[in-house]
Amino acid sequence: MNRPIPSRPHWLTDQHAMIRDAVRRFAEAQIAPYSEKLWEDEAFPYDIWREAAQLGFTGLPYPETWGGGDGDWLSFVIVLEELARIDCAVANALMANSTVASLLSNYGTPEQKDRFLRPILDGRQIGSIALSEPDAGSDAANLATRATFDGERWTVSGSKTFISNSGTAIGGPVVIAAVTGTRPDGRKEISNFVIPSGAPGFSTGRKLRKIGWRASITHELFFDECAVPADHLLGERGAGLRQTLAQISTGRILIGALALGILQGSLDRSTAYMGTRRAFGRALSEFQALQFKVADMATHAHAARLMLYDAAALKDAGLPFETQASLAKLFASERAMEAAHQAVQIHGGYGVMAEQAVARAFGDAKVLEIVEGTSEIQRMIIARAVLA
Ligand SMILES: Cc1cc2nc3c(=O)[nH]c(=O)nc-3n(C[C@H](O)[C@H](O)[C@H](O)COP(=O)(O)OP(=O)(O)OC[C@H]3O[C@@H](n4cnc5c(N)ncnc54)[C@H](O)[C@@H]3O)c2cc1C
Q: What is the pLDDT of residues 215-250, one digit of tens each?
A: 999 999 999 999 999 999 999 999 999 999 999 999
Catalytic residue positions, numbered:
372
pLDDT, average across residues 285-307: 97
Q: Is residue 164 in contact with ligand 1, taking CB distance under 6 Å? A: yes
Residue nearest to atom 27 of ligand 1 (CA): 137
Q: Where in the chain is the domain with CATH 1.10.540.10?
A: 14-126
Summarised one tens digit per residue, pLDDT across range 159-212 is: 999 999 999 999 999 999 999 999 999 999 999 999 999 999 999 999 999 999
Q: How far apart are CA 248 and CA 321, in angstroms?
A: 12
CATH 1.20.140.10 residue spans of the chain: 242-387
pLDDT band at 6 (very low <50, low <70, confident <90, very high): low
The pLDDT, as a whole number, for residue 10 is 83
Determine which residue's CA is closest to atom 25 belonging to ligand 1: 137
Which of 138, 159, 337, when mutated, tests ligand 1's pocket best, judged by the most ligand atoms within 8 Å of its CB?
138
What local confidence, expressed as pLDDT, does residue 5 receive?
Answer: 53
The residue contributing the CA closest to ligand 1 atom 48 is: 374
Ligand 1 near 210 CB (within 6 A): yes
The DSSP-derived string for 109-132 is -HHHIIIIIHHHHTTSSEEEEE--
Contacts of 4 (CB under 8 A, 6+ apart): none
Contact criterion met (CB below 8 Å) for 154 and 230: yes
Q: Taking the model in full, what pTM does it have?
A: 0.97
Top-tier CATH class for 14-126: mainly alpha
Is any atom of ligand 1 closer than 6 Å to the C-beta of 22?
no
Nearest CA to ligand 1 atom 52: 162
pLDDT tens digit sequence for 323-355: 999 999 999 999 999 999 999 999 999 999 999
Q: Is the CB of 129 under 6 A from ligand 1?
A: yes
**Would you say the CB of residue 260 lies under 6 angstroms from ligand 1?**
no
- Report the separation in Å between the CA atom of 137 and the middle of ligand 1, taken as the mean of its atom positions: 4
Closest to 189 (Cα-Cα) out of 157, 147, 233, 150: 147
For domain 127-238, the CATH architecture is Beta Barrel (2.40)
CATH number of 242-387: 1.20.140.10
Enumerate the CATH 2.40.110.10 domain ranges in the chain, comma separated: 127-238
pLDDT of residue 11: 83
Report percent pLDDT > 70 for the chain: 98
**pLDDT bracket for residue 7 (50, 70, 90):** low
